[in-house]
């Protein structure tokens, strides 16, 4: 029943203007931190000192949680709430990690900052620019509503039948027309989930889903995910090396940061 009341906050979207404001504020906070942090006395102003190392740890945790939050829709949770959490957590985490770097941009760990900057730029572009392009494109995709040739129709019918067969093992109550793979499906049956995913990719290829839009619209999500995976992998390597291979990282210099081992000395 329509009541005229606004939707609950958990169901509201994050306006583009607020997204832009959060991004600009985070950039400003990071720049201020990069100026202030190196000027702090003694160990407080060093990247591996207690203060800035703590900032890096907290920032990394926030960034990892933000990756989980943006996957809320894949876990059957409200996607808009997950996106809002993703933006706020990623913004705060980026500020803390950037301050930890103290502006050092020519060493290997700085690749993490470049990757993070690319992730943010691509994410903001997808929301502020790509979403509008996709909205304009949708009305022009007449080929998607035209009847395919007989061979393609037969192959599509076979794919739908294949997807329904696999879906019985993944989620007996789900409908193939509206079903979307979630993290729990991959965890429960990775082989069946992969088979379903392959069928979906083949279906998209036959329909020409990506061919009907520009390369930027077609592949930005893939690039965004690859950058995210690259960041997580790079972060893991960085944490392992400074924690266990402190001697290798120091290269003969003073090892002043907290660590568990000094392998590589």
**Residue 178 carries which DSSP code?**
T
159 and 226 assigned to the same domain: no
Beta pairing partners, 259: none
128 and 235 assigned to the same domain: yes
68 and 121 assigned to the same domain: yes
Domain assignment present for residue 263? The answer is: no
What's the confidence (pLDDT) of residue 179?
85
pLDDT in tens, the chain (265 residues): 344 444 444 456 789 899 999 999 999 999 999 999 999 998 899 999 999 999 999 999 999 999 988 877 666 666 788 889 999 999 999 999 999 998 887 788 889 999 999 999 999 999 888 777 776 665 555 455 555 678 888 888 888 899 899 988 888 888 887 888 887 888 888 898 899 999 988 888 887 766 666 777 778 888 999 999 999 999 999 999 999 999 999 888 899 999 999 998 7
DSSP readout, 74-91? GGTS-HHHHHHHHHHHHH
Count of structural domains, the chain: 2
103 and 203 assigned to the same domain: no
Q: Alpha-carbon distance 235 to 218, whole Å?
A: 28
Domain assignment present for residue 1? The answer is: no
Beta pairing partners, 247: none
Domain assignment present for residue 47? The answer is: yes
What's the confidence (pLDDT) of residue 153?
82
Cβ–Cβ under 8 Å, residues 238 and 97: no
157 and 81 assigned to the same domain: no
29 and 107 assigned to the same domain: yes
184 and 223 assigned to the same domain: no
59 and 166 assigned to the same domain: no
What's the confidence (pLDDT) of residue 33?
94
74 and 190 assigned to the same domain: no
Q: Alpha-carbon distance 119 to 112, whole Å?
A: 10
Structural tokens at position 151? 């061979």
70 and 117 assigned to the same domain: yes
CA nearest neighbour of 199 among 143, 157, 146, 147: 157
Residues with Cβ within 8 Å of residue 150, at least 6 apart in sequence:
none
What's the confidence (pLDDT) of residue 60?
96
Residues with Cβ within 8 Å of residue 15, at least 6 apart in sequence:
none
Q: Domain range for residue 29?
A: 15-135+214-250
Return the residue matching tokens 């509206």: 178
What's the confidence (pLDDT) of residue 212?
63
What's the confidence (pLDDT) of residue 32?
96
What's the confidence (pLDDT) of residue 75?
64
25 and 130 assigned to the same domain: yes
């Amino acid at each position: 029943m329509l009541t005229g009341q606004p939707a609950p906050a958990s169901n509201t979207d994050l306006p583009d203007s607020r997204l832009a404001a959060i991004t600009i504020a985070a950039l400003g906070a990071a720049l201020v931190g990069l100026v202030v942090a190196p000027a702090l006395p003694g160990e407080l102003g060093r990247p591996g000192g207690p203060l800035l190392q703590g900032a890096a740890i907290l920032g990394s945790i926030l960034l990892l949680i933000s990756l989980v939050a943006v996957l809320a829709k894949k876990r059957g949770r409200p996607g808009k709430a997950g996106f809002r959490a993703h933006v706020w957590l990623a913004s705060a985490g980026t500020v803390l990690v950037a301050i930890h770097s103290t502006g050092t941009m020519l060493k290997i760990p700085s690749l993490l900052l470049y990757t993070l900057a690319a992730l943010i730029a691509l994410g903001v572009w997808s929301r502020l620019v790509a979403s509008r392009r996709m909205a304009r494109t949708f009305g022009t995709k007449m080929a998607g509503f035209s009847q395919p040739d007989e061979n393609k129709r037969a192959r599509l019918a076979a794919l739908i039948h294949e997807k329904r067969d696999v879906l019985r093992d993944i989620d007996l109550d789900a409908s193939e027309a509206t079903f979307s793979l979630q993290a729990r499906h991959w965890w429960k049956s990775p082989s069946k989930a992969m088979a379903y995913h392959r069928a979906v990719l083949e279906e998209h290829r036959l329909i020409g889903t990506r061919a009907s839009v520009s390369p930027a619209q077609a592949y930005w999500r893939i690039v965004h995910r690859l950058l995210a995976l690259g960041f997580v992998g790079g972060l893991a390597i960085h944490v392992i090396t400074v924690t266990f291979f402190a001697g290798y990282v120091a290269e003969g210099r003073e090892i002043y940061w907290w660590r568990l081992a000094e392998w590589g000395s």
